[in-house]
Amino acid sequence: GPAPSAPSTPMLKSKQVAEEGKGESAEEGERASECTADEGEPDEGNTARRQLEATATVTGASHWSSDASSTSPGQSEAAAAAAAATTKAAQFAAALAAGEAMYGAGSGFDTITPSQMFTPSAAGGGGGADSVPGTDWLLFNDFSINPVAPREVTRLYGQVKLPCLCMYTRVDRPAPPPLPPSPITANMFRRLTLGASLPPRSPFRPFDFESAGETPGPGTILGIDAEFVALAPAVRETQADGSEVVVQSMRLGLARVSVVRGDSGPRRLVPVMDDYIRAVEPVYDYLTRFSGLVPGDLDPAVSTHAITRLKHAYLKLRYLVGAGCIFVGHGLKQDFKMINIVVPPAQIVDTVELFHFKRQRKLSLRFLASYLLGLDIQQETHDSIEDARTAVRLYDKYLELVREGNFQAKLLEIYRYGKQYGYTGENRPAEHGKPGPGPGQRGGGAAVGGTLWAIKPGERRGGGGGGGLVGSMSTTDLADML
């Protein structure tokens, strides 16, 4: 037979590379041990990581050696697969050792107590085939939320899984004591209201605290409205394209606050508070069209109103809030924000939210008063007492519609009418066969420029289909109306 062939050159090179790999891995292992011994690091995690690197290097060298010593292709592939499996097992074991050293039983991470704020049942994770009983931990993976065992949470895998936020709860501290009672007492409120010098023709009558009906308490309904003046103008900047941008809004200050009774007693809708706030800095603009205030109203030397300081008005409101009174108004969120007072939501009844469809425009107080109450308010200026009374009346109307079960239908009717004829409140619909006021008429006066007419809700404009036209009017007034 043929003479045995000499070992091929590639095989010799492979063995040489394997021997060099072994030598290099041994040297690296010695260097890692020397570094650990020289530095004297007590961190077991760093030692475990270095052992992991050395193990991976040695395993890789063994992989090269096994490949080099194989002559059969099938045996070479099997040996390579076995070596790869051994390498992965060694790497995983080293990673577990490093993780246990850094975050295991001796690190304190295994005693972490999760927060009791969110439970699996509250988040939809309790119950089902995938639920984990007796756990308060939840795993958030994008939009998927699943319960997870505490051991899986606190067990960390080297650099693969690291904590980003740890929260602790102190259990040895007692609960905080209850809040002290409000320092604003009834005596202080009486001194601020009854002890103040009121003008002879004051429009309000404060609580006298002589009976239960004259003492504000939990559930007392009060209508409230506030007026503001501009203390500084808005700051605008002109852009390169010529447009103006407001960079700082107009600075407003509280100028008047009015509170009226909302109960069903004999003094219903009688003001109990109507304070004009003394101006401590020059007023830039009285905003008379929206506040009803004119120069001199906030000057104690010439004003005929009850002038008080901002602090006193704030103390009065603070007492009413602490007493549990319910405030009824229109747009109270902005008013309380400007007054800088926090009122619990349970004590706020905002008519702008009551008469509102979701994703639809907010309705003005004037429009609601015109349509539901037949009142024509805010003709030339605003008056806080009038607005507070109107808000209370609207709240009563709301309760009436809810009791009758007609609120949703009525609100839909209001929006349809406003969309068809405008939300200004200048033209209210005819009720009980009587026409409402047309343009130029104020609450029952004679029409200007033509005879009285009205369009009933849901009927066509013009002469088609019977129409809703009552009487006639000039073309100019008709154009304004439509």
Distance (Å, rounded) from C-alpha 85 to C-alpha 98? 20
Predicted confidence (pLDDT) at residue 292 exceeds the cutoff of 50: yes
Report helix, strand or coil for 247: strand
The average pLDDT across 304-319 equals: 91
Whole-angstrom Cα distance, residue 116 to residue 395?
41
SS3 content of the chain, % helix, strand, coil (to 5): 40, 15, 45
Phi-psi region of 340 (alpha: psi -120 to 50; beta: other; left: phi over 0): left
- Looking at 378, 397, 425, the residue that finishes a domain is 425
The radius of gyration of the chain's CA atoms, rounded to the nearest angstrom, is 41
Whether 312 and 450 share a structural domain: no
- 383 falls within a domain: yes
One domain for residues 318 and 265: yes
- Asked if residue 408 and residue 272 are part of one domain, the reply reads yes
Do 378 and 465 fall within a single domain?
no
> Residue 179 contacts by C-beta under 8 Å, 6 or more apart in sequence?
none
* Burial of 324: CB neighbours in 10 Å, binned 0-12, 13-18, 19+: middle
Residue 296, domain CATH: 3.30.420.10
* Best-predicted range by mean pLDDT (2-6, 383-387, 453-457): 383-387
pLDDT digits (tens, 9 = 90+) for 236-285: 999 899 899 999 999 999 999 999 999 888 888 999 999 999 988 899 99
DSSP H/E element including 16? helix 9-39
- In this prediction, residue 127 carries a pLDDT of 44
Give residue 168's pLDDT: 80
**Residue 14 resides in a domain:** yes
Does residue 376 fall inside a structural domain?
Answer: yes
Pair 213, 308 in one domain: yes
Is 316 among the domain residues? yes
Are residues 44 and 97 both part of a single domain? yes
How far apart, in whole angstroms, are the C-alpha atoms of residue 407 and residue 297? 41
Q: How many helical (H) and strand (E) elements, i.e. helices and strands, does the chain have? A: 13, 10
Residue 166 confidence (pLDDT):
77
**Residue showing tokens 């405008």:** 422
The SS3 assignment for 438 reads: coil
Share of the chain above pLDDT 70, in %: 63
Burial class (CB in 10 A: 0-12, 13-18, 19+), 133: exposed
Domain endpoint, select from 35, 70, 103: 103
Per-residue pLDDT at 174: 80
Do 340 and 454 fall into the same domain? no
Residue 197 resides in a domain: yes
Distance (Å, rounded) from C-alpha 438 to C-alpha 453?
Answer: 6
Task: State the Cα–Cα distance between residues 482 and 473, nearest whole angstrom.
Answer: 12
255 and 390 both lie in a single domain = yes
Residue 149 in domain: no
Dig out the tokens for 278 from the structure. Answer: 């003394």
Residue among 49, 55, 21, 22 at smallest CA distance from 35? 49
Q: Which residue has the higher pLDDT, 121 or 97?
A: 97
- Clarify whether residues 391 and 474 are in a common domain: no
* 274, containing H or E segment: strand 271-277
For residues 330 and 124, which has the higher predicted lDDT (pLDDT)?
330
DSSP strands (E only) in 233-297 = 235-238, 244-248, 251-261, 271-277
Q: Look at residues 214, 41, 167 and name the one whose alpha carbon lies nearest to residue 50.
A: 41
Does residue 195 belong to any structural domain of this protein?
A: yes
Give the tens place of pLDDT for each residue, 16-68.
Answer: 444 554 455 445 555 544 444 444 444 555 555 555 555 545 444 444 444 44
Domain end marker among 425, 448, 472? 425
With bands split at pLDDT 50, 70 and 90, how would you rate the model's confidence at 394? very high
Instruction: Determine the pLDDT at residue 436.
Output: 46
With respect to residue 224, please indicate whether it lies within any of the assigned structural domains: yes
Residue 413 has pLDDT above 90, yes or no: yes
Tell me: pLDDT of 124 over 50. no
For residues 97 and 48, the answer to whether their CB atoms sit within 8 Å is yes
Residue 126 above 60 pLDDT?
no
Range of the domain at 52: 9-103
Judge if 341 and 419 occupy the same domain.
yes
Angle, helices 9-39/44-69, rounded to nearest 10 degrees = 170
Work out how many domains the chain is built from and give that number.
3
Looking at the structure, tell me whether residues 89 and 211 fall in a common domain: no
Q: d(Cα 286, Cα 384) in Å, to the nearest integer?
A: 14
Q: CB 325: neighbour CB atoms within 10 A?
A: 22
Q: Do 449 and 468 share a structural domain?
A: yes
| Count of Cβ atoms closer than 10 Å to residue 230 Cβ | 17
Is the pLDDT at 361 greater than 50? The verdict is: yes
Given this model, what pLDDT does residue 116 score? Answer: 37
What is the spatial distance between Cα 374 and Cα 368, in angstroms, rounded to a whole number?
Answer: 9
Given pLDDT bands bounded at 50, 70 and 90, which one contains residue 343? very high
The residue with greater pLDDT, 71 or 293, is 293
